[in-house]
Amino acid sequence: MSIQRDDLIALALGTLSPQEQARVQAALDADPELQAEYRSDMAALHALPEQLPSAQVPEGAADRLMARLRAEREAAPVFPPLTPAQAPETPPAAPSGRRGWSLGLGVLGLAAALALFFALRPPSDPLTRYAGMPGAVSQPLTGADREEIGQVVRLRDGTAFLYLSAAPPENRVYQLWKIQDGAPVSLGVIDGQGTLVQDAPDGLTLAVSVEPPGGSAQPTTTPILVQQL
């Protein structure tokens, strides 16, 4: 199944038709190497807004950007197919490796994705930003008393953003764990109230405990959250 780089970018941006989305997703599911590259690209895109300074988006910036991209695409030259007499006897060898995917529209698609991240400044609130991504699904986080204490946003690339509504107690930090074979495995200390979980498949059970600065090898307090995604 032939997948080009602009297919992956369109999947990330949520611009594929349902049929094309199913085709590209099937190719990802069947190719671990392709899936790893897609996740790496998505992680880079997710990290971009954190590096951008706050700025006011000019009114109409999105419409002007998309109009420019459409104009450039329509102005791209279209070459007629070669006749048998013009065709070379031996086709040129295709570039090796996944980095040899066709450029052209793929580069234009990547430029569009990056332009959207840089020109259309995302909301400074990370929870709102992740919840607004194409294909994102939000799920409430509930504590032991069944009260809602935060949100987790599942993203289409298999990652998830976990956010706790309240800051940790003074001189304490939140630490994230996954429950594996009935035992907690540390996923690291949460910087503030939110963190991106890189591998969050269906059925994963996450837990959050309150720990001393720097975290602990094992939970030292009763978790404030234990929840299956």
Instruction: Quote the CA–CA distance of 99 and 78 in Å, as a whole number.
Output: 24
- Can you read off the two tokens belonging to residue 228? 């299956």
Q: Higher confidence at residue 63 or residue 101? A: 63
Instruction: Name the pLDDT band for 25 (thresholds 50, 70, 90).
Output: confident
- Can you read off the two tokens belonging to residue 6? 């602009």
Chain center to CA of 62: 21
Residues of the chain with CATH 2.60.40: 128-228
Instruction: Name the pLDDT band for 45 (thresholds 50, 70, 90).
Output: low
Instruction: Quote the CA–CA distance of 204 and 35 in Å, as a whole number.
Output: 19
CB-CB neighbours of 87 under 10 Å: 10
> Angle at Cα 220 formed by Cα 216 and Cα 226, nearest 5°?
100
Task: Return the CATH class of domain 128-228.
Answer: mainly beta
pLDDT, one tens digit per residue, over 117-166 is 544 444 557 888 888 888 889 999 998 788 899 999 999 888 999 999 99
